Chains A and B, each alone.
Chain A
Amino acid sequence: MRRGEPLDFIAYIRDHPEQFRELLLEHVRLVGFSVLIAILIAIPLAVLTTRLAWFERPMTWIANVGQTVPSLAILGLTLPLLGIGFRPALFALTIKAVLPIFLNTVIGIRGVDRAIVDAARGMGTSDRQLLWFVELPLASPVMFAGIQTATVQNIGLATLAAYIGGGGFGDWILQGLAMVNPPILLAGAVPVAVLAMSTEMILRGVRRVIVPAGLTVT
């Protein structure tokens, strides 16, 4: 590993601005779409799970086992099924993002104080009102933490998506590894690391803001 000083990666990025923008866009698109789709799948599924007693055990079991499956294994498993490209990558990332959002939504709703739910039902809230007035607002901090986990985790996973032709910064890392070229390697790695860390910090800030008033006061 001596071809070029590692810190030359800045120069490499500067020399390839078009490609950099393209990889960033691909990366963000992969993460954004997968998390968005995952939210749309996971939250209704979680609500349903808390409504149907028999559904809860198998669903949380599946989700917990799913969490244990190594992410690369999920990517690996989609290859024989869906081939290579953006869509299989999106599929794998979506599956991986559904799990934490689903689990956190179930935990969030289950975690709402029994007394509060009891009071709400005793006052005559319909099931739908109970969900919208009480359960979802009170579960929202935990749910958002799940979305945060999914997003940051998928920024990393999207790097691996390059292996099945999903694009993103993983392309440069892959190229850098293949060519044993540290500047290219780091031109992919450093932006991804920065993207993940800054997203984590931004979402932490957002979480503080969106917590319903009343939960944070003392």
Chain B
Amino acid sequence: MSPLWAGVSLITLEHVSKNFDSPSGSVRAVEDVSFEVDAGALHVLIGPSGSGKTTTMRMINRLETISEGTITINGRDVRDLDVVELRRAIGYVIQQGGLFPHFTVADNVAVVPRLLGWPRARRRQRAEELLALVGLPPKQFADRFPRQLSGGQQQRVGVARALAADPPIILMDEPFGAVDPITRKQLQRELRRIQAEVQKTIVFVTHDIGEAFLLGDRIVLMAEGRIVQNGTPADLLRNPASPFVTEFIGEDRSLRALQHTYLAELAGSRPDGVPDDVPILAGTLSIPQAGQELARHDRSNREGFLVSDVSGRPSGYLTYQQLATVLGESIAPAETMTSAEAAPDPEAAHVLPV
């Protein structure tokens, strides 16, 4: 564990802004962003390109300078820390892994331990441990080079590398953006399994709303440098802060993939005590249609909505949390659509070929 912030690791951004100098003058990339990342939680930063999500994340480990505002970790201003020590104490995963092509897989995983001066044997042991954790048998993979790995495998090495020195915080910059959708789904499930095991504080940048719904404990939606909404996945569905939120969620192709999935298939039976004033939606609505329909209702302070059956009786019920989970799983709908619980099967992830 990094000595810099043993124990809880709370990240706080207060009124953070970022200006970039460009030939045509200063450009505001991030505007007055404030949020907190709880220890052990996974926060997703999401938004269209140019929304400032990556810049915001890169200010945490100071790959970008902070123009205004403060970022603290466990109460310590990141600017008061030595930049090299700061970065070694934070795991970092980027798209396509950013693996060193001239290092073996094991050496790649052990980069930060090496920078920290761990002895060789301990580095090797740690690398093997982590390769096993991310589902790459060390015997088979430790001495290969990145070029001999598939994109998905490289991405696993990238995750293992970020965990190497056991940093309590990990920053992930569209880590699964460059792999095919099926592999991406696998990696997302793997990450959730690993996260359940290691309980890191993770800031995760993506533009894929499905990924955000699947992985995020909280989602920070950004546009044009500002935060549009910061909430749980269910919050975003239940209380979208603006039409932009609904639109952003609705435009995603993962949602379009659900146009042949209907509410009736997802809804569970209506539990007792559901008030009558919650919205009632027809079971024949597809998920995208339901999203638009819900936008017309007042959804504040409600956990879910009622779903009517063929005879028009509101006999079914679906929570926003369940809907969010479905959205997160939507790229591989067949596996999760059978149950409204949509609980991830932790075993399933292991069976999938690497």
Listed in ascending order, the chain A residues whose CB lies under 8 Å from chain B are 113, 115-116, 118-126, 129, 133-134, 137-138, 212-215, 217-218
- Do A125 and B146 touch across chains, with their CB atoms under 8 A apart? no
When distances are taken between beta carbons in the complex, the residues of chain B under 8 Å from A113 are 98
Q: What is the CA–CA distance of A138 and B101 in the complex, to the nearest angstrom?
A: 8
Chain B interface (Cβ < 8 Å from any Cβ of A): 61, 63, 83-90, 92, 94-104, 111-112, 115, 145-148, 158, 161, 171
Q: How far is the CA of A119 from the CA of B83 in the complex (A)?
A: 14
Contact between chains at A217 and B147 (CB < 8 Å): yes
Contact call A122/B61, Cβ cutoff below 8 A: yes
For the complex of A and B, list the 8 residue pairs with the smallest distance between their C-beta atoms, beginning with the closest.
A119-B98, A124-B87, A124-B88, A122-B92, A214-B145, A212-B102, A115-B98, A214-B102
B100 proximity list for chain A (CB < 8 A): 116, 119-120, 133-134, 138, 214
Q: In the complex the two chains form, what is the Cα distance from A121 to B90 in whole Å?
A: 11
The distance from the CB of A173 to the nearest CB of chain B, in whole angstroms, is: 44
Minimum C-beta distance from A81 to chain B (A): 41
For residue B178, give the distance in angstroms from its CB to the closest CB of chain A. 10
The CB with the most chain A CB atoms within 10 A, among B63, B101, B112, B147, is that of B101
Distance, CA A213 to CA B103, complexed state (A):
8
Q: Please, which residues of chain A bring their CB within 8 A of the CB of B63? A: 118, 121-122
Residues of A within 8 A of B102 (CB): 137-138, 212-215
Nearest B residue to A211 via CB reads B102
Contact between B148 and A124, CB atoms less than 8 A apart: no
Residues from chain A with Cβ under 8 Å of B86 in the complex: 124
With A124-B84, A214-B102 as contacts: A119 and B148 at CB distance below 8 Å: no
**A123→B88 contact, CB < 8 A:** yes
Would you mind naming 6 contact pairs between A and B with Cβ atoms under 8 Å apart? A118-B98, A120-B98, A122-B87, A123-B88, A124-B84, A214-B147
Tell me if B148 and A126 are in contact (CB < 8 A). no
Chain B residues lying within 8 Å of A133, measured Cβ to Cβ, are 100, 111
**How far, in whole Å, are A217 and B143 apart by their CA atoms in the complex?**
12
Whole-angstrom CA separation of A118 from B54 in the bound complex: 13
- A213 CA to B97 CA, complexed, in Å: 19
Point out the residues of chain B lying under 8 angstroms from A129, CB to CB: 115
Chain A CB count within 10 A is highest, among B98, B161, B171, for B98
Q: Provide the residues of chain B in CB contact with A138, threshold 8 Å.
A: 100-102
Q: Is the CB of A123 within 8 A of B115?
A: yes
A214-B145, A214-B146 are known contacts; what are 15 more A-B pairs with Cβ within 8 Å? A115-B97, A121-B63, A122-B90, A122-B94, A122-B98, A123-B87, A124-B88, A126-B84, A137-B102, A212-B102, A213-B145, A214-B102, A215-B147, A217-B147, A218-B148
Q: How far is the CB of A127 from chain B (nearest CB, A)?
A: 9
Report yes or no: B112 in contact with A124, Cβ–Cβ below 8 A. Answer: yes
> A120 — which chain B residues lie within 8 A by C-beta?
98, 100, 111
> How distant is A42 from chain B, measured CB to nearest CB, in Å?
22
Which chain A residues border B101 with CB–CB below 8 Å? 116, 138, 212, 214-215
The 8 Å CB contact of B103, one of A121, A123, A214, is A214
Q: Which residues of A contact B104 (CB under 8 A)?
A: 214
**Would you give the shortest CB distance from B293 to chain A, in whole angstroms?**
42
- Which residues of A lie under 8 Å from residue B61 when comparing CB positions? 122
